Chains A and B, each alone.
Chain A
Amino acid sequence: MSLSPDGGRGSPVIDVQFDRPGRRYDAAAPLVVHSRVGGVDPESVRALELSVVWYTEGKGEEDLAVHAFERIVDRDALLAALAGHDFETRLPASPLTYEGVIVKIRWCVRVRVFYAAGRDYVSEQEFVMGRVPPAAPLAVREAPC
């Protein structure tokens, strides 16, 4: 179970439970997460989005791709999803999680809560896909494009 890092006053508490211990997955494996949103007035929420995303991190500009995406706006479904929602997908074969030196690849589940007032709140829970060990630097070369 994981909580949003700054789930204080005014912020919802988002629980995301992964179906694998240590949040470690093989490539092309099924992924099942259970999410629950608490600490918020359900009437103040207008939509809920759940997505499985990979993005790059490090020295370069961020690249991002969405592997799976679900947006819930129907009032009844939304109230049920805030109380507890299962999200299931099969992961792709690539890219694998990578802890490089200047390029890192992260996989995560994002739960985004949209309020009726217009603002939104996002909780990001990382998981690992594959078993690639961290890289170490050998040499640096920098050149303008």
Chain B
Amino acid sequence: MRLPRIFGKKRGHRRTGSQAWGSFGDGLFHAVLVMAGLVFGALLVTGVAMREWRVNRDYVPTVCRVIGQGLIRREVQDPPGSASATWTPSFRVRYEALGGIRESWTRADAAATTADRPAAIAALAAWPLGAEVSGWFDPADPDTVVLHRGFNWWMWGLTLLLPGALLAFGGSGLLRAVRRWGRSEEAIAAAGTLPVLTSSQFKSATGLPGIPACDDMTNSPGTVLRYRLPLESPESWTLLGLGLFAVAWNTVLAVLAVGAGLDFATGRLHWFLLAMLVPAGAVGCAAILLFTRALLLKTAVGTTQLEISDHPLRPGGRYDVLLAQGGSGDLRELTVTLECEEQATFHQGTDTRSESLVVHREQLRGWRDIRVSPGTRFEGIAGVTIPAVAMHSFLSEHNAVRWRIRVHGIPARWPPFTRMFPIIVHPAAEKSP
């Protein structure tokens, strides 16, 4: 018997892995998850849930007389080095079980445990000495008696959550690996079980596989030309990232600062926490400053709009583009450029990286020394011709060929800005011989 090869055929910059070994590894990984879920679930069910199940199913009812009261004291160290105590009301009861009279300590309700000692003492009053209450004893161990029954559904949910997730994730992966085992990648893809192939990226509504839809690029009419193109500005993502970081960082900082303040008010001083708050506060202030600066730069230049005479575009076609630049102030230069960029996403170790490469760039038109005022925006027309043998737009799970119109401006008093307007290029209509 020959084992499958570790590596398959070499393609491009890399060597493809063996499909058989890949499926085996995938199946093994998910089988381990299933086993972990089963073992973990069994431990939790037998250790936590089974007792509650037996109390409700097997314990025998009896009548208990309260003959003693007390508090169970438990010391906990949270945080380490600072001790605190919890108190649980407990009762000594006398009851009849299996033909004899027995006495035992028990708790009224597990949820009655509290860190407030006076509250725990007050809870004892609900079960006065000499009172007769309902109880249930364990027929396998008559000295064990409880005064409360019922299911704690929260506990059951939490008990089953982790093993359930492991079983669901591992089971689905194992099923997928079993279904793929021994089948070719073409058969899997043809059956539609390969996840990447069920992606809408591969199935275009226009009947053009691998070409992204352009519905959201033709639903906004222009003021002069037919369509207004949506903006895809890299500066917007930078701004969003800075804003999210500033909010998240300062929220965590505020929570820690409030906690430190409350501790200080109660006389406890955590020097380590205070020492950490100082540099963290500096980072928070810097994040707010950077976000404010980026927001100011973005809004100071004014909006850029691009309209086009038709969409989607085709190789060999000529189209008009209208550039409209709002805001106020002087622009030293404003250019409109047609670009085509290849984009590839790949794994490098545990990282997912993306590489882009511009393979076509053509300046359509440029203007110099423009003055923009709040009342009147600058408008300029440029012509764009897609090369007759150009590649069409393409989008798959990890690869893309993207066309776009790039507007680059150099304001007199602000840093340069770049705004991207994606466009979709369809293949040229070809005739079969």
Tell me if B354 is interfacial: C-beta within 8 Å of chain A.
yes
Cross-chain contact of B399 among A30, A56, A66, A130 (Cβ < 8 A): A56
Q: When the two chains form their complex, are residues B13 and A59 in contact, meaning their CB atoms are under 8 A apart?
A: yes
Tell me if B140 is interfacial: C-beta within 8 Å of chain A.
no
Cross-chain contact of A130 among B342, B347, B427, B432 (Cβ < 8 A): B427
User: Which of B65-73, B182-190, B369-377 is the interface stretch?
Assistant: B182-190
User: Which of A35-43, A74-82, A94-102 is the interface stretch?
Assistant: A94-102
Tell me if B126 is interfacial: C-beta within 8 Å of chain A.
no
Decide: A27 near B430, CB < 8 A? Known: A102-B344, A103-B399, A103-B400.
yes
Decide: A63 near B359, CB < 8 A? Known: A26-B430, A49-B187, A51-B190.
no
Decide: A63 near B430, CB < 8 A? Known: A98-B401, A102-B357, A132-B391.
no
Q: When the two chains form their complex, are residues A66 and B189 in contact, meaning their CB atoms are under 8 A apart?
A: yes
Q: Which residue of B lies closest to A120 (CB)?
A: B184
Interface residues of A in 59-104 (CB under 8 A from B): 59-67, 69, 71, 92-96, 98, 100-104
Q: When the two chains form their complex, are residues B357 and A140 in contact, meaning their CB atoms are under 8 A apart?
A: yes
Q: Which residue of B lies closest to A133 (CB)?
A: B389
Tell me if A139 is interfacial: C-beta within 8 Å of chain B.
yes
Tell me if B215 is interfacial: C-beta within 8 Å of chain A.
no
Question: Which chain B residues lie closer than 8 Å to A66 at the CB level?
Answer: 186, 189-190, 197
Tell me if B360 is interfacial: C-beta within 8 Å of chain A.
yes
Decide: A92 near B209, CB < 8 A? Known: A27-B430, A29-B432, A103-B401.
yes
B181 to chain A, nearest CB (A): 11
State the main secondary structure of chain B at its contact with A: mixed
Question: Which chain B residues lie closer than 8 Å to A104 at the CB level?
Answer: 12
B354 to chain A, nearest CB (A): 5
Cross-chain contact of A102 among B351, B355, B390 (Cβ < 8 A): B355
Tell me if B394 is interfacial: C-beta within 8 Å of chain A.
yes
Decide: A94 near B209, CB < 8 A? Known: A56-B398, A100-B401, A143-B354.
yes
Cross-chain contact of B345 among A71, A112, A145 (Cβ < 8 A): A145
Question: Which chain B residues lie closer than 8 Å to A61 at the CB level?
Answer: 345-347, 397-399
Q: When the two chains form their complex, are residues B389 and A131 in contact, meaning their CB atoms are under 8 A apart?
A: yes
Decide: A100 near B432, CB < 8 A? Known: A61-B346, A63-B396, A63-B397.
no
Q: When the two chains form their complex, are residues A138 and B360 in contact, meaning their CB atoms are under 8 A apart?
A: yes
In the assembly, what is the distance between CA of A62 and CA of B210, in Å? 14
Interface residues of B in 403-433 (CB under 8 A from A): 426-427, 430-433
Tell me if B248 is interfacial: C-beta within 8 Å of chain A.
no
Tell me if A16 is interfacial: C-beta within 8 Å of chain B.
no
Question: Which chain A residues lie closer than 8 Å to B16 at the CB level?
Answer: 62
In the assembly, what is the distance between CA of A137 and CA of B359, in Å? 5
B121 to chain A, nearest CB (A): 59
In the assembly, what is the distance between CA of A93 and CA of B433, in Å? 15
Tell me if A122 is interfacial: C-beta within 8 Å of chain B.
yes
Q: When the two chains form their complex, are residues B189 and A59 in contact, meaning their CB atoms are under 8 A apart?
A: no
Tell me if A1 is interfacial: C-beta within 8 Å of chain B.
no
B341 to chain A, nearest CB (A): 9
Question: Which chain A residues lie closer than 8 Å to B391 at the CB level?
Answer: 96, 98, 100, 132, 135
Q: Which residue of A lies closest to B433 (CB)?
A: A26
Of the candidates B190, B196, B391, the one having the most CB atoms from chain A within 10 angstroms of its own CB is: B391
Q: When the two chains form their complex, are residues A101 and B342 in contact, meaning their CB atoms are under 8 A apart?
A: yes
Question: Which chain A residues lie closer than 8 Å to B209 at the CB level?
Answer: 65, 67, 92-95
- Complex A-B, nearest 10 residue pairs according to Cβ-Cβ distance, in ascending order: A60-B344, A69-B190, A95-B210, A63-B396, A61-B398, A59-B344, A135-B359, A51-B186, A60-B398, A103-B342
Known contacts A58-B342, A112-B184, A138-B357; 5 additional CB pairs below 8 A are A62-B16, A65-B202, A69-B186, A92-B208, A145-B354
Sampled A-B contacts (14; CB under 8 Å) = A26-B433, A28-B432, A56-B396, A61-B345, A62-B16, A64-B194, A64-B196, A100-B359, A102-B344, A103-B344, A103-B394, A103-B399, A138-B360, A141-B355
